[in-house]
Amino acid sequence: MAAELEFRGLFRPQAMRQLVPGSWYLGFRCQSCHETFAILDDPAGNGEVEPTGAGVIEVTCPVCAAANRYTAGDMLVFQSATAMAGQEVTPSGG
Ligand SMILES: [Zn+2]
């Protein structure tokens, strides 16, 4: 059963630049360059987390430096395959 992670209001995280291979992260696919980046460690640590809430997340892409706004529904839960940001990742299948 997935744990819910609720976002409210405006949240301005910093994109993570160093990912640990095999670890789970929450992030987005950049609206500008379509690269995937992480903003948070998955608090569950196993991809069993479901972002919810009506909050807005404003974050700057670490790849192309575009600042865009996202919602919890846009959020990806993924396992880092490599230490490099922007590599292909596999979204959680639930
Ligand atoms: Zn980008």
Q: Model confidence over 3-58: pLDDT tens digits?
A: 899 999 999 999 998 999 999 999 999 999 999 999 999 999 999 999 999 999 99
Asked whether the CA dihedral 10, 69, 53, 37 is positive or negative, the reply is negative
Locate the domains of the chain by residue range. 3-82
Nearest to 16 by CA among 2, 93, 89: 89
Q: How far is the CA of 66 from the centre of ligand 1 (A)?
A: 6
Please, which residues have CB less than 5 A from ligand 1, an ion? 30, 32-33, 61, 63-64, 66
Tell me what pLDDT residue 89 has. 53
